[in-house]
Structure 1
C-alpha cells in the first residue's frame, strides 16, 4: 500500500519537529501490552511491567484504548502546540477534545477491536470520562515513564539536534529520505511505503509535524484537518538508551559530594526505592533517605510514586555529571 503527502513551498515552511510525552505514553503502553521481550527495551520492560500490573494499569482505560496493534485513537495524541509541551498541557488538550471527535475515533477503534464497558461509557459521556482517562495516564506516566524521562528526553533532544543539522547541511529531501525505511521523498511528495494508512494532503491540514519517539517500532500517522498531519517515527540511537556505562570520575565526584551520595547516584542507573538502595549499598535506610533528600534538593534526583513506594531517579543534571567523559 502506498500513501502520499504532497508538499507546496508553504507546507515545507510549516514543517516542524516536536517532542510529545503522549506519543511516548501510547507507544510504550502498546509495547507493554504486546507481551514481547523487545531486544532493546527489555531492561525497561522487565522493570516496568510488574509496577504497571501492581497498579492495575494493565487492565484499565489504556488497555481499552491502546490495542497491541492497528489503530490508535487520534484524541490521545493531540498535535503539540509547542516544541516540547508539558504532559499537563497535552492532557488538557485531550480533555478538551470535542465529543463528536471522541465518538468518531471510538467508532474507528471498535471497527478494529472489540470494545467494552469503558468505551461505551466514554462514547456516552466523553466530557466526564476523559477526565478519568487522563487521570490514569498521569498514574501510568508516574510509574512507567517519569523515572526514565531524563534518559529519554536526552535521546530525543539529540535526535532533534541531528535532524536540524541535517536540514541545514543537506536540505529537507535528504531528511525525509533518512527518517525511516518506509518513507521516501520524490517530486515534492512524501511517500509512505508499506503502510496501511489513508493519509493524503486532501485529508490533512497544511505543513507536517514530525515527532521522534523512543518506543515507536514503526511510523505512526495522524491526520485531522485543519491541524497539520503528524508522523511519529522511531528515533535513532535507542541501542544505547538503557546501557549502564562505568562512571570514570567517581573518585573526583565523591570528593565533592561525598562517597555515599556518589554511590547512590551510580546505583540509580535504573530507578530504585529507598529499600532497594539500602539493600544494595549497605547504607542504612535512614541514611539513604537523608542522602536522597539532599540530592533531590540539589536537583540531582527526582522522586516518583509507584503504588505504596517511591522510586528515585537521576535527573538530567546527574546524568550529565556521571556520563560526561
Structure 2
C-alpha cells in the first residue's frame, strides 16, 4: 500500500440531496485513543492529555487499544455513522454492541497486529468480543471524554451551522474544496487523500455524512461500504477547545459599548452559542446572556435557532464596528 492513496466518490443529484452534517461522540473517543498514544504528533491536545492520563489508571482498555492501533486502519464497527444530527453517545454505544459479529471479526482481522492476544481472543468469540469492546468504550467515554464533551460539542455546533450555510450559499463544490487540503471536488467527483485504502466509484444514492472532528486533527478519514459513507475532517478552531481566547478590542469600541460587550462582539468571528462564548471568554453564561440581549436589542448581533440551541453572530452594523467590511 503506498503512503498516500485516494478514495473517490461520484455524486449524483440524489447523493447531493442526502448530503448532511453530523458529529459523533464515539468517533471522537476512538480517535482520541490514538492521540493519547502518540502525543508528539498531537501537541495541540497536550492540555487534554495531561488531564486525562491520571484518570485512566486502572482501566482495562487492552482490547480497545488493539482494535484501534496507530496504523492507518481501525475496526470500523467501533465508529458507526451517526444516525441523526443530534449526537447521543448511548445510542451510538448500542449500535456498537449490536454490530454483526462476523463483520466485526473481518474488520478485527485486518487491523495491524491482529496476532496480538486481545485480537486473537476477539476472533475466537466475536460476539463476546463485540460486547467487551462496547463495554470498554463506555468506560473510556465516561472517564476521558464525557467531562470535556460540552466544549467539544460547542465547537462542532458552530462548525456545522457555518458549513450548512456555506453549502446553501455557495454549493457543494465550494464547500468541499474549503474543508481540508486532503479533500477536492471537481465535476461531481469527491476525492479524499487517505493512507488506509483505495476506492473509486459511485455512491449509488446513499449520500454522505460530513463529520467535523477535534481528535482526527490534522488528518481526514473516510468510511464507506458496508456502512453509510462518512467523511471526517478536522474542525477549524480546534486549538480553542483547550485554551481560553484572549480577545483584543479597540479603545474606541470599548468606550462606545463597554469593554465586556466589545470583547463579546469581537469574539463573534463566527456564529456561537452563549455557552461557547462563555468558555471562550472565561465568563459566566448568565453574564454573557445579559450582554448578548443588549447587543441584540441594539442591532449589533442577530440570533438564529438551530434545534434547541440559539446561535448569535454579528449583524452588518456589528461587523462595521469591528472593522470588518
TM-score (norm 2): 0.71
Shift of 1:91: 1.0
Give the alignment of 1:163-242 within 5 angstroms.
Answer: 163-193=163-193, 195-201=195-201, 206-217=206-217, 218-225=219-226, 227-242=227-242
Shift of 1:106: 1.3
Q: After superposition, what is the alpha-carbon deviation per residue over 1:141-195, rounded to whole angstroms, capped at 9, x for unaligned?
A: 1111111111000001011011011112111111100111010000100012364
Shift of 1:323: 6.0
Shift of 1:240: 1.2
Q: Specify the alignment match of 1:36 in structure 2.
A: 40
Maintained 8 Å contact 1:37/1:45: no
Q: 1:172 to 1:25 in 2, by over 3 A?
A: same
Q: 1:198 to 1:320 in 2, by over 3 A?
A: farther
Q: After superposition, what is the alpha-carbon deviation per residue over 1:51-108, rounded to whole angstroms, capped at 9, x for unaligned?
A: 22x1335x52221111122101110111211113311111111111112101110121
Q: After superposition, what is the alpha-carbon deviation per residue over 1:236-257, rounded to whole angstroms, capped at 9, x for unaligned?
A: 111211113589xxxxxxxxxx
In the alignment, structure 1 residue 55 sits paired with structure 2 residue 53: no
In the alignment, structure 1 residue 73 sits paired with structure 2 residue 38: no
Shift of 1:34: 1.5
In the alignment, structure 1 residue 46 sits paired with structure 2 residue 47: no
Mapped to 1, the partners of 2:242 and 2:74 lie a distance apart of: 27
Maintained 8 Å contact 2:9/2:201: yes
Maintained 8 Å contact 1:205/1:224: no
Q: Specify the alignment match of 1:243 in structure 2.
A: 243
Mapped to 2, the partners of 1:68 and 1:323 lie a distance apart of: 41
Maintained 8 Å contact 1:182/1:195: no
Q: Specify the alignment match of 2:18 in structure 1.
A: 14
Mapped to 2, the partners of 1:181 and 1:213 lie a distance apart of: 15
Mapped to 2, the partners of 1:102 and 1:205 lie a distance apart of: 25
Shift of 1:45: 0.9
Shift of 1:20: 0.5
Q: 1:193 to 1:126 in 2, by over 3 A?
A: closer
Structure 1 gap segments, 5+ residues each? 248-299, 301-313
- Name whichever of 120-129 and 18-27 sits farther off: 120-129
Maintained 8 Å contact 2:14/2:205: no
TM-score (norm 1): 0.71
Maintained 8 Å contact 1:12/1:207: yes
Number of matched residues?
A: 252
Shift of 1:197: 2.2
Q: After superposition, what is the alpha-carbon deviation per residue over 1:257-290, rounded to whole angstroms, capped at 9, x for unaligned?
A: xxxxxxxxxxxxxxxxxxxxxxxxxxxxxxxxxx
Structure 2 gap segments, 5+ residues each? 248-274, 292-325
Q: 1:189 to 1:202 in 2, by over 3 A?
A: closer
The SS at the match of 1:239 is helix
Shift of 1:118: 1.9
Shift of 1:115: 3.2
Q: 1:140 to 1:78 in 2, by over 3 A?
A: same
Mapped to 2, the partners of 1:73 and 1:209 lie a distance apart of: 19
